[in-house]
């Protein structure tokens, strides 16, 4: 338990649990034998996870290129509203092996939208790494290839993830207890 901004946050995954899991994920990514790998982090929530994961990947001997993409959803993740591309990658995805990194796979609409877009632009192989999978809320037909933790249906913050732009700095993943 921690008090941040007058709010009680209960630790769900500690910094050391996350670090250990990142090492395992990096190993699995290495063993996936991606060719000429382009890593694409989905902003904003994945920025801390992506920063740690690419450095764990470096320790396995991988040397990917790195890009960023940003998508906004109207009406939240559970409605069928349109998704809009806010920032595209600068690299041509044609014939590339791409690893998408995101914080949470929830409805799946965000990652399905980005994955389909990269495939339609000619990417050779598009796979997904997420810190957290919340399978209970899936709407789109999509699965992650690399999952840090399968997460209960709580709203979580920290390690890059926010509530109203706050709590991204927390080094652990936590659940907001009192509203």
User: Taking CB under 6 A as the rule, does residue 161 contact ligand IMP?
Assistant: yes
- The residue range among 19-27, 54-62, 87-95, 150-158 that interacts with ligand IMP, by the rule CB under 6 A, is 150-158
CB 101 within 8 A of CB 39: yes
**45 is a site residue for Mg ion (CB under 5 A):** yes
Judged by beta carbon distances under 5 to 8 A according to partner kind, the member of Mg ion, ligand IMP, none in contact with residue 109 is ligand IMP
Segment interacting with ligand IMP (CB under 6 A) among 15-23, 56-64, 84-92, 155-163: 155-163
With CB under 6 A as the contact rule, the residue among 18, 54, 68, 110 that binds ligand IMP is 110
How far apart are alpha carbons 34 and 159 in whole angstroms? 26
What is the side-by-side order of every strand in the sheet holding 173-176? Answer: 2-4, 7-13, 173-176, 156-157
The DSSP string of 122-157 is T-SEEEEEEEEE-GGG--SS---SEEEEE--S--EE
Closer residue to Mg ion, CB minimum distance, 45 or 93: 45
- Is position 135 an interface residue for ligand IMP (rule: CB under 6 A)? no
96 binds ligand IMP (CB under 6 A): no
Q: Which stretch binds ligand IMP (CB under 6 A): 48-56, 60-68, 88-96, 101-109?
A: 101-109
Residues in CB range of 7: below 8 A, 6 or more apart: 176, 177, 178
Give the residue carrying structure tokens 């980005």. Answer: 114
Which is nearer to Mg ion, 1 or 80 (by Cβ)?
80
Question: How many residues bind ligand IMP, per CB under 6 A?
Answer: 15
- Evaluate whether 170 touches 4 at the Cβ level (below 8 Å): yes
**67: partner contacted, choices ligand IMP, Mg ion, none (Cβ within 5-8 A by kind):** none
| 101: nearest Cα among 172, 29, 169 | 29
Q: CB of 136 within 8 A of CB of 153?
A: yes
Q: For residues 10-69, which are near ligand IMP according to CB under 6 A?
A: 45
Stretch that binds Mg ion, among 1-9, 44-52, 122-130, 144-152 (CB under 5 A): 44-52
């Amino acid at each position: 338990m921690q008090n941040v901004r007058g709010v009680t946050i209960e630790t769900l995954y500690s910094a050391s649990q996350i670090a250990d899991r990142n090492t395992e994920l990096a190993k699995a990514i290495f063993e996936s034998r991606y060719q000429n790998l382009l890593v694409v982090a989905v902003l904003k929530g994945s920025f801390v996870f992506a920063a740690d994961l690419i450095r764990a990947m470096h320790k396995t001997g991988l040397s990917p290129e790195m890009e960023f993409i940003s998508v906004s959803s109207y009406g939240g993740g559970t409605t069928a509203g349109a998704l809009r591309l806010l920032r595209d990658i600068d690299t041509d995805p044609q014939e590339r092996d791409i690893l998408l990194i995101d914080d949470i796979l929830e409805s799946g609409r965000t990652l399905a939208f980005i994955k389909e877009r990269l495939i339609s632009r000619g990417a050779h192989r598009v796979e997904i790494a997420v810190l957290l999978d919340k399978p209970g809320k899936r709407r789109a037909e999509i699965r992650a290839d690399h999952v840090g933790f399968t997460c209960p249906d709580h709203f979580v913050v920290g390690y890059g993830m926010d509530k109203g732009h706050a709590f991204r700095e927390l080094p652990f993943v936590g659940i907001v207890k009192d509203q």
